[in-house]
Amino acid sequence: MSVPARTLAGVHMIQLARSQWLMIDDHYKPRFLIVEEPVVLKETWETHVKHVIRWWHISPKERTVQAVCDGLIAAEAWCRDADAQERAKKAELSASLDIRKSTMANDAHR
């Protein structure tokens, strides 16, 4: 069964079921699970259907809620932003490690 994937910057969305979407990264590693489900507001005790974003984990008990959004597009945007922030942190760390390596190499040649 072929399911079309929607592509975002570095993140791809696959629909698993009627109300479930899995966000995977460029290396096909699952990142987030988006589930459309009823949420009760504590202030008014009203029930609304929201898109709940959880970190992906193989065990359902280990999946933690990261955000609650008012629509699928907002949930996609949240996942894209979270992925972009993580990529930026990794790039910054990688750049700082490269600077340290080049500094250590220069010191070794002296």
- In a domain, residue 102? The reply is no
Give me the tens of pLDDT residue by residue for the chain, a chain 110 residues long.
444 555 445 788 999 999 999 999 888 889 999 999 999 988 999 999 999 999 998 888 999 999 999 999 999 999 999 988 988 898 888 888 776 666 655 665 56
- In a domain, residue 93? The reply is no
Range of the domain at 18: 5-85
Nearest residue to 30 (alpha-carbon basis) of 55, 64, 1? 55
**Number of domains observed in the structure of the chain:** 1
- In a domain, residue 105? The reply is no
- In a domain, residue 108? The reply is no
- In a domain, residue 99? The reply is no
- In a domain, residue 97? The reply is no
- In a domain, residue 60? The reply is yes
Q: Whole-angstrom Cα distance, residue 51 to residue 62? A: 18
- In a domain, residue 50? The reply is yes
